[in-house]
Structure 1
């Protein structure tokens, strides 16, 4: 199966919303208008994986941010003017594409983009019991957070949401 990774466009948002609905619990739902605003805020750091027929198989929304800043669920992206890292906000892989390594390919794309921007860290909020998956990808749970970050984690109601960081290094 031929799979292409490319930037998400506004024309892809209906398919992205459908995939989001199939992958996340109702308490993690984020409306199409918000996804559109996020895409507008960070168009160069939102990617999808599709097959040769143009069928959406996976996506990843990211944006440049600062360490320790947790994006509350349902909030627009606040792209940092002086970013310290790339924040991975939302990744989903369709049921039929699981096991194809698409999450890893999207993560590699994010690392490549971050490197091109001079960044050496990624951050995310792990939800739906995914901490162990992200740990296998090199992310570490951050136990000490600011009160604002802790409050933002609480917006992921019904979740054991955990803020995680990954540092990676590029050859000089």
Structure 2
């Protein structure tokens, strides 16, 4: 049975391995950075496990709508968050088509609602925008020059910033 739970420090080596298998080299983020991100916001990071195997993960954090986290940068801590920013979700190739991503997304939606955050935001990479649009996300193209630069840090990805109102 698939289990969604909060990420724990002992999950990080498996998370790094899964990241390596799921993302192109341009999107690789070092293990030390993932550890810092998890340490900063452990309550909004989840893993999907099946029979003691990591099938997927999701890093997120409370953020501000329209403020994009640059690739390979520490998460931005804000005093008055108004959205939950979904920074990184990956699902094992072996688990695709099993609903893993939807279960992780549901965990994030429930967490956001419990925190009083009624919007989710993310950067879609690797041609995933249509996947997110099918789940109610919409492209937000009116970004400041600084945020456009942050979006451009996802080089070669045709990255798009999307939001979803809960």
Superposition pairs of residues 74-85 of structure 1, within 5 angstroms: 74-85=72-83
1:7 is aligned to: 6
Q: Distance in 1 between matches of 2:136 and 2:78?
A: 24
Q: Distance in 2 between matches of 1:79 and 1:109?
A: 21
Partner SS, residue 111 of structure 2: helix
Deviations 1:3-56 (A, max 9, x none): 11111111111100000000000000000000000001100000000013x110
Q: Distance in 2 between matches of 1:74 and 1:143?
A: 22
2:102 is aligned to: 104
Q: Distance in 2 between matches of 1:60 and 1:102?
A: 11
Asked if structure 2 preserves the Cα contact closer than 8 Å seen for 1:58 and 1:94, the reply is: yes
TM-score of the two chains, using structure 1 as the length reference: 0.95
Asked if structure 2 preserves the Cα contact closer than 8 Å seen for 1:88 and 1:123, the reply is: yes
Asked if structure 2 preserves the Cα contact closer than 8 Å seen for 1:42 and 1:79, the reply is: no
Q: Distance in 1 between matches of 2:61 and 2:49?
A: 21
Partner SS, residue 159 of structure 1: coil
Alignment counterpart, residue 111 of structure 2, candidates 110, 113, 135: 113
- 1:93 deviates by 0.3
Q: Distance in 2 between matches of 1:9 and 1:44?
A: 10
Superposition pairs of residues 82-161 of structure 1, within 5 angstroms: 82-161=80-159
C-alpha RMSD of matched pairs (Å): 0.6
TM-score of the two chains, using structure 2 as the length reference: 0.99
The answer as to 2:46 corresponding to 1:47 is yes
Unaligned runs of at least 5 residues, structure 1: none
- 1:79 deviates by 2.5
2:58 is aligned to: 60
Which stretches of structure 1, 4 residues or more, deviate above 3 A after TM superposition? none
